[in-house]
Amino acid sequence: MSGEHPYDLVIVGAGVSGLCLARALLAARGPWSIALVDGARDDDAFRALSMWSEGPTALDALVRHRWRRLVVADEGGGARVVALGTHTYQTLFFAELQREVLAALRADPRHRVIDGRAGPLRTDGERVRVAVGAEELSARWGFDSRFHREELAAPDPMGALLWQRFHGVEVRCGRDAFDPTAAVFLDFRAELPAGTAFAYVLPFSAREALVELVSVAPVDAETALRRYLARVHGVEAPEVVARESGLSPLTARRFDAFDGPRVRRIGIAGGRMKASTGYALTRILDDSAAIVQGLQRRGDPMVAPPERRGYRLLDAVFLTLWARWPARMPAVFAAMFGRVSPDRVLRFLDERASAWDLVALVARLPLWPFLRALAAWVAGRALRRKS
Ligand SMILES: Cc1cc2nc3c(=O)[nH]c(=O)nc-3n(C[C@H](O)[C@H](O)[C@H](O)COP(=O)(O)OP(=O)(O)OC[C@H]3O[C@@H](n4cnc5c(N)ncnc54)[C@H](O)[C@@H]3O)c2cc1C
């Protein structure tokens, strides 16, 4: 080791949650020195980050595209355009978030951005220690965004695990092909086994869009995307400007937020991905704000993320339905967005629904698929407990 390098805070992983936390800390202008460590991020693999919101968010300055209309289409060809009342759907680019945060950290000599693979974060009395190559960093508090896949192998009373596979192409067309005023939120017309995949389209202009295939089963995504573009958008041979791909675990499992008294897990590793949607950004922003608030108010960032048991159960039932009866999903989503105000649906998906939102959803959603999934989940839980 080439000596100890002390900081107030060390963040492992300059992915979405590491960057959002660093950005929130910088915005708060606190007295903390920050070390941000990452050794693996491939800038090209991950491009657009989207979320919906009812008001301003901490990332407003980075948002490049906003939509007030969403398209939801079931496999039968019925595409519904729903107008958002209180929400906006918005997209920013990971590379811009990364550039901004890394530049701000590098501009202040108290902070450091370290390119290297970090070892485990170890608590040693009042300090957290971590080896990065030949160096040892020490800090008062540690934040770890590394996701440990092996944790998914442990028995889980919450049940279903689905792997969401993303395969996206940013395309440019020679003629107008997209409606730039409406983002395609869920389009099940991907000609794949019903409910196992949907397309997602962010139209940046009438001729440019990020077109993504999201599937919960292995699939020849390139071919499916080409066919979807030709059949639904009339785009035959678009110029592919960029690609993105990735894999996310959809699970209602509880993830520990703490690795000891001074290490806080963040991002997916800390359970910040919403199990039923695969979206994490809003929850990551809320988590970053709560951590910064903990530091400012009590000098202690070890805040517990909110635990909403009812929503966790709903997520588990939803995932059970998707895993066991995927063919039901297009109709479930169509009913959700067709019969209920989209603002209510988005609030519900964000776990911010009011009692009235819940009443409206329960009254208008097809209950039978959910009751069957609940029964399957309860039966599975009894078996999971025995094993
Ligand atoms: C293709 C794709 C698109 C998505 N789009 C959206 C979206 O639009 N909206 C949304 O809300 N969510 C989206 N998600 C879900 C979620 O927001 C992302 O997965 C997000 O990257 C999660 O952030 P994270 O910080 O938990 O993990 P990551 O962003 O993966 O960050 C973890 C970081 O840790 C680093 N790391 C790993 N090991 C080490 C080590 N030993 N030492 C140092 N560093 C290490 C990695 O290089 C990485 O940078 C998407 C997911 C995928 C896969």
Q: Is the CB of 270 under 6 A from ligand 1?
A: no
Q: Of all protein residues, whose CA lies closest to atom 30 belonging to ligand 1? A: 15
Q: What is the mean pLDDT of residues 325-347?
A: 92
Domain locations in the chain as residue ranges: 4-64+89-153+251-298, 161-250, 309-386
Whether 113 is in the pocket of ligand 1, judged by its Cβ within 6 Å, is no
Instruction: Tell me the CATH number of domain 4-64+89-153+251-298, given options 3.40.50.720, 3.50.50.60, 3.40.718.10, 3.90.580.10.
Output: 3.50.50.60
pLDDT one-digit tens code per residue, 132-149: 999 999 999 999 999 988
Asked if residue 164 has its Cβ within 6 Å of ligand 1, the reply is no
For 240-274, what is each residue's pLDDT tens digit?
Answer: 999 989 999 999 999 999 999 999 999 999 999 99
Any atom of ligand 1 within 6 Å of the Cβ of 143: no
pLDDT the model gives residue 387: 62
By most ligand atoms within 8 Å of CB, the mutation choice from 248, 265, 282 for ligand 1 is 248
What's the CATH class of domain 161-250? alpha beta
Q: What is the mean pLDDT of the chain?
A: 92
Give the tens place of pLDDT for each residue, 145-186.
Answer: 999 888 888 888 888 899 999 999 999 999 999 999 999 999
**In which band, very low, low, confident or very high, does the pLDDT at 293 lie, cut at 50, 70 and 90?**
very high
Q: Is the CB of 195 under 6 A from ligand 1?
A: no
Report CA(306)–ligand 1 centroid distance (Å).
21
Residue 1 has pLDDT above 60, yes or no: no
SS3 for the chain is CCCEEEEEEEEECCCHHHHHHHHHHHHCCCCCCEEEEECCCCCCCCCEEEEEECCCCCCHHHCCEEECEEEEECCCCCEEEEECCCCEEEEEEHHHHHHHHHHHHHCCCCCEEEECCECCCEEECCEEEEEECCEEEEEEEEEECCCCHHHHHCCCCCCCEEEEEEEEEEEECCCCCCCCCEEEEEECCCCCCCCCEEEEEEECCCCEEEEEEEECCCCCHHHHHHHHHHHHHCCCCCEEEEEEEEEEEEECCCCCCECCCCEEECHHHHCCCCCCCCCCHHHHHHHHHHHHHHHHHHCCCCCCCCCCHHHHHHHHHHHHHHHHCHHHHHHHHHHHHHHCCHHHHHHHHCCCCCHHHHHHHHHHCCHHHHHHHHHHHHHHHHHHHHC
Give the model's confidence band at 206: pLDDT under 50 very low, under 70 low, under 90 confident, else very high.
very high
